[in-house]
């Protein structure tokens, strides 16, 4: 049995087969870039003889699709293609590459003339047009071979009118475009013959995502069995899931303790920052009016702000009006110890300024963070 490996967009099976998933738009901007898809397919060829290609795509870039098309055409592996949902435009060309092709009951093929864009000089643009015409002729010959018709008939039927031609699975089987219709294993009732292309594409994408989620859950349980002593190899899936739930419950208690610890650390940091700002203001490193700004800086860049505050030179504080209380030749005690607001309310600011200009200026600076200017 080939060794299991993990590839891009690949679902390996235990029976020695693998599926390459082409779900989404094809192009070098997307997950379905030619480099990723072709390299993944070539890796699969080394380990798997049987490769299924499953398509649910509205198409995309011509050249990216051409690279994928050529990889499938030239493969020596046993390749079978399944259109799960939509195979439109370039995705239809990939689907009709000559390998056995099956469609789900409600899937759609869409054929139209090859379209695309390019840039460059006139020679490069002509080469692009020639490539597109050649690809369209190849597709017409391939379809003609499947249907027993001439390539010109196919071009007239699907390409030359410039329209989109949607083909159901039943129509494709009747025309001989496909080799059969495979049955959905469940949930058939969610689709019908009248379902739109968008509904069909979305339905199969959701199915794939749900299956991928189940596979991920199973892989997680396998990983836990290997790496966690509490989950033994003998446990069933339900027992293992229960053990995981108990572990998460215990982790929840630890998480609450961690939250409390983080809150305490934040509180201590806040106290330290407040003490640092008080010291900076009292030493004259910053004015009181600057406190809030530095508090914001401490939250945004604590280390850098602490370093800045510690580097600022201290300024000797000028004497306050209250410092004159009881001293000879000092100003009148009626101004001492009173705030700017109190002096303003009592109408004493003018007298304070006249009798004690220095005290007035010091109190102004304490209150407003700058010296008084006449």
For 8-49, the pLDDT digits (tens) are 577 766 567 888 999 989 988 888 888 889 988 998 888 888
Question: What is the distance between the alpha carbons of residues 275 and 279, in angstroms, rounded to a whole number?
Answer: 6
Given this model, what pLDDT does residue 117 score? 66
- Residue 123 belongs to some domain of the structure: no
Q: How confident is the model at residue 3 (pLDDT cuts 50, 70, 90)?
A: very low
pLDDT tens-digit map of 270-299? 888 888 888 888 888 888 878 887 888 888
* Same domain membership, residue 345 and residue 288: no
Residue 6 Cα distances to 12, 47, 80, 236, angstroms:
8, 12, 20, 25
Q: Say how many CA atoms lie within 13 Å of 213 toward its Cβ.
A: 6
Given this model, what pLDDT does residue 319 score? 46
Domain that holds residue 81: 10-112+164-223
* Same domain membership, residue 251 and residue 216: no
pTM for the model stands at 0.52
Final residue of a structural domain among 223, 247, 264: 223
Final residue of a structural domain among 262, 288, 311: 311
Q: What is the mean pLDDT of the chain?
A: 77
- Residue 346 belongs to some domain of the structure: yes
**Of 347, 348, 316, 326, whose CA–CA distance to 335 is shortest?**
348
Listed in sequence order, the residues at least 6 apart from 33 whose beta carbon sits closer than 8 Å to its beta carbon are: 27, 64
Whether residue 163 has pLDDT greater than 80:
yes
Given this model, what pLDDT does residue 318 score? 45
Given this model, what pLDDT does residue 323 score? 46
- Residue 242 belongs to some domain of the structure: yes
* Same domain membership, residue 62 and residue 175: yes
Listed in sequence order, the residues at least 6 apart from 361 whose beta carbon sits closer than 8 Å to its beta carbon are: 318, 371, 372
The phi and psi torsions of 77 (rounded to 5 degrees) equal -75, 165
Q: How confident is the model at residue 345 (pLDDT cuts 50, 70, 90)?
A: confident
- Residue 122 belongs to some domain of the structure: no
What CATH number is given to the structural domain containing 61? 3.90.226.10
Say which residue, 231 or 126, is predicted with more confidence. 126
* Same domain membership, residue 364 and residue 270: no
* Same domain membership, residue 326 and residue 307: no
pLDDT tens-digit map of 320-340? 444 444 444 444 557 777 888
* Same domain membership, residue 248 and residue 185: no
Low-confidence winner among 41-50, 201-210, 224-233, 266-275 (lowest mean pLDDT): 224-233
Given this model, what pLDDT does residue 230 score? 55
How many domains are there within the chain?
3
DSSP string covering 1-66: -PPP---TTEEE-TTSEEEEEEES-BSTTSTB-HHHHHHHHHHHHHH-SEEEEEEEE--B-HHHHH
- Residue 53 belongs to some domain of the structure: yes
Final residue of a structural domain among 179, 195, 223: 223
89 is catalytic: yes
Q: How confident is the model at residue 249 (pLDDT cuts 50, 70, 90)?
A: low
Say which residue, 116 or 104, is predicted with more confidence. 104
Given this model, what pLDDT does residue 116 score? 67
- Residue 120 belongs to some domain of the structure: no
Question: What is the distance between the alpha carbons of residues 368 and 8, in angstroms, rounded to a whole number?
Answer: 66
- Residue 265 belongs to some domain of the structure: yes
Query: Would you call 327 exposed, middle or buried from its count of C-beta atoms within 10 A (0-12, 13-18, 19+)?
Result: exposed
* Same domain membership, residue 85 and residue 22: yes
* Same domain membership, residue 352 and residue 249: no
pLDDT tens-digit map of 168-196? 999 999 988 999 998 765 445 566 666 77
112 is catalytic: yes
Q: How confident is the model at residue 374 (pLDDT cuts 50, 70, 90)?
A: low
Q: Find the catalytic residue in 57, 89, 104, 107.
A: 89
**Mean pLDDT, residues 300-317:** 76
Say which residue, 167 or 11, is predicted with more confidence. 167
Given this model, what pLDDT does residue 72 score? 93
Looking at the chain, the whole-number percentage of residues with pLDDT higher than 90 is 17
Given this model, what pLDDT does residue 237 score? 53
* Same domain membership, residue 285 and residue 168: no
pLDDT tens-digit map of 61-75? 877 888 898 899 899
Q: Find the catalytic residue in 112, 118, 122, 282.
A: 112
* Same domain membership, residue 294 and residue 244: yes
**Mean pLDDT, residues 296-313:** 81
For residue 88, what are the β-bridge partners? 110
- Residue 51 belongs to some domain of the structure: yes
* Same domain membership, residue 298 and residue 339: no
Whether residue 78 has pLDDT greater than 90:
yes
* Same domain membership, residue 294 and residue 171: no
The phi and psi torsions of 110 (rounded to 5 degrees) equal -135, 120
């Amino acid at each position: 049995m080939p060794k299991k490996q993990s590839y891009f967009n690949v679902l390996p099976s235990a029976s020695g087969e693998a599926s390459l998933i082409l779900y989404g738009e094809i192009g070098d901007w997307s997950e379905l870039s030619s480099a990723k898809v072709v390299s993944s397919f070539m890796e699969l060829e080394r380990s798997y003889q049987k490769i299924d290609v499953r398509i649910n795509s509205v198409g995309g870039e011509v050249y990216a699709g051409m690279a994928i098309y050529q990889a499938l055409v030239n493969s020596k592996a046993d390749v079978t293609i399944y259109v799960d949902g939509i195979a439109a435009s370039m995705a239809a060309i990939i689907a009709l590459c000559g390998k056995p092709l099956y469609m789900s009951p409600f899937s759609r093929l869409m054929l139209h003339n090859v379209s695309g864009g390019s840039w460059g000089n006139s020679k490069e643009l002509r080469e692009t047009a020639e490539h597109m015409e050649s690809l369209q002729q190849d597709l017409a010959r391939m379809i003609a071979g499947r249907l027993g018709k001439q390539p010109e008939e196919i071009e007239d039927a699907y390409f030359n009118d410039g329209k989109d031609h949607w083909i159901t699975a039943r129509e494709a089987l009747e025309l001989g475009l496909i080799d059969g219709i495979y049955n959905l294993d469940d949930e058939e009732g969610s689709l019908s013959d009248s379902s739109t292309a968008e509904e069909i594409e979305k339905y199969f994408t959701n199915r794939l995502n749900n299956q991928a989620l189940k596979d991920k859950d199973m892989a997680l349980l396998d990983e836990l069995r290997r790496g966690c002593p509490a989950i033994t190899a003998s446990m069933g899936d339900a027992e293992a899931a229960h053990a995981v739930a108990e572990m998460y419950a215990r982790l929840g208690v630890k998480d609450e303790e961690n939250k409390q610890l983080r809150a305490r650390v934040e509180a201590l940091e806040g106290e330290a920052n407040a003490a640092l700002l008080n010291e900076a203001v009292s030493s004259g490193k910053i004015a009181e009016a600057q406190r809030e700004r530095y508090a914001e800086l401490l939250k945004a860049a604590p280390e850098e702000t602490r370093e800045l505050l510690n580097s600022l030179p201290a300024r000797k504080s000028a004497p306050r009006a209250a410092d004159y209380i009881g001293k000879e030749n000092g100003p009148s005690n009626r101004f001492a110890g009173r705030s700017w607001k109190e002096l303003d309310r009592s109408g004493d600011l003018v007298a304070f300024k006249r009798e004690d200009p220095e005290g007035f200026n010091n109190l102004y600076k304490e209150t407003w963070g700058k010296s008084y200017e006449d």
